[in-house]
Amino acid sequence: MSSQIIETNPTSGSATTSSVRDNFGFAKTEINNFERMTEDKVITTNGGSVNTQDANFANDVTLVEGRRISVEIGTGLTTTNTTPTLNVDGTGDKTIVRQDGSALAVGDLKEGQYCDFIYAASGGSHIQDKWVWLNSKTDANDASPTFTGTPAAPTASKNTNTTQLATTAFVMAQTASATESGISELATATEVKAGTDASRILTPENLLRVAVSNAAVSSAGDQGSIEIAGVVIKWGLENSTLDEDQTFTFDTAFPNGCSCVVTQRIKSGATSILGLVSVSAANFVLNRTDGIDGTDPFYFIAIGR
């Protein structure tokens, strides 16, 4: 910064009160400009609340346009509103704003944080008599930010429905129940078949999953099946051909076993039955009565899991 003091004014033997006054005026301006750039850092103190902080320098600060100061936000003084104030050496509470004049966000000024401020005495059209936070980001910089690392944010209380950020902790707390909406895990295919989980939910695919080997059961050996919430129902058309135990195999085995099999002969006025000998996840065994001979077609329905 070049000096504005005129070293040859006054010249030897030509001092006047006017020239001396001019030089003192130049010196005062020079000192003010220097002070604006060279104030020591101080730690802020509580001026009544975390949002009304004081800063007291060893040499009292005079508020002039462009005056700069550096402070460290004091212990326990993280701000909790959008319009905190700073009182520097008793010059009065002045609102702190961002570089574009916009309000701060809650918690912008954090304890232990180093902040540089410049005083806007008359400034532009919208920043007057305020401390401008030089370390702040402008609204343009806030738009569509890209975070890296592991950014953190305050966790909203359960059932908060605002534009506030949702942390992973908030999401995990939003567990649905029988009486409250929220987030639930989807049941896996294994859990659907087990049928013992009371907290996970079913998708339409899991609720009604159809696996049909032959949808049209019209010939011997045709089978079909459907699974509803873990309950498997199989049906088919088979031929009884033996007068002894005869095994009939399911096209796919029941995952957790078959509970029962019901048969129906395809013959008008039939009174003899196809007796069920045994049933397993993979097949069932029939033994027909003596009244049945030759090839005897029948339908069956089997239920299991």
pLDDT for the residue numbered 147: 78
Order the strands of the 283-288 sheet from edge to edge.
246-249, 283-288, 274-279
The answer, as to whether pTM is greater than 0.75, is: no
Other Cβ atoms closer than 10 A to 263: 19
In the chain, what are the domain boundaries? 42-139, 210-304
- The residue among 139, 129, 85, 141 whose CA lies nearest residue 109 is 85
Contact present, 305 and 193 (Cβ < 8 Å): yes
pLDDT for the residue numbered 191: 74
pLDDT for the residue numbered 126: 74
Contact present, 243 and 293 (Cβ < 8 Å): yes
- In order of 33, 174, 245, the CA distances from 240 in angstroms are 109, 57, 10
- Tracing tokens 């936000």 back to the chain, one arrives at 73
At 54, list the tokens.
């004081």
3-state DSSP call for residue 278?
A: strand
pLDDT for the residue numbered 182: 75
Contact present, 301 and 279 (Cβ < 8 Å): no
pLDDT for the residue numbered 148: 80
How far is the C-alpha of 114 from the C-alpha of 134, rounded, in Å? 11
pLDDT for the residue numbered 211: 44
- Tracing tokens 């005056």 back to the chain, one arrives at 67
How far is the C-alpha of 192 from the C-alpha of 201, rounded, in Å? 9
Q: Which CATH number fits domain 210-304: 2.60.40.3940, 3.10.150.10, 2.60.40.10, 3.90.25.10?
A: 2.60.40.3940
- The residue among 304, 2, 21 whose CA lies nearest residue 10 is 21
| Rounded average pLDDT per 10-residue block, the chain, 305 residues | 51 64 69 58 95 92 88 96 96 94 92 94 79 75 72 89 89 75 77 70 64 62 84 93 95 94 88 92 93 91 96
- Tracing tokens 């540089």 back to the chain, one arrives at 116
pLDDT for the residue numbered 172: 83
Positive or negative, the Cα torsion across 194, 199, 200, 206? positive
Contact present, 193 and 230 (Cβ < 8 Å): yes
Other Cβ atoms closer than 10 A to 190: 10
pLDDT for the residue numbered 207: 62
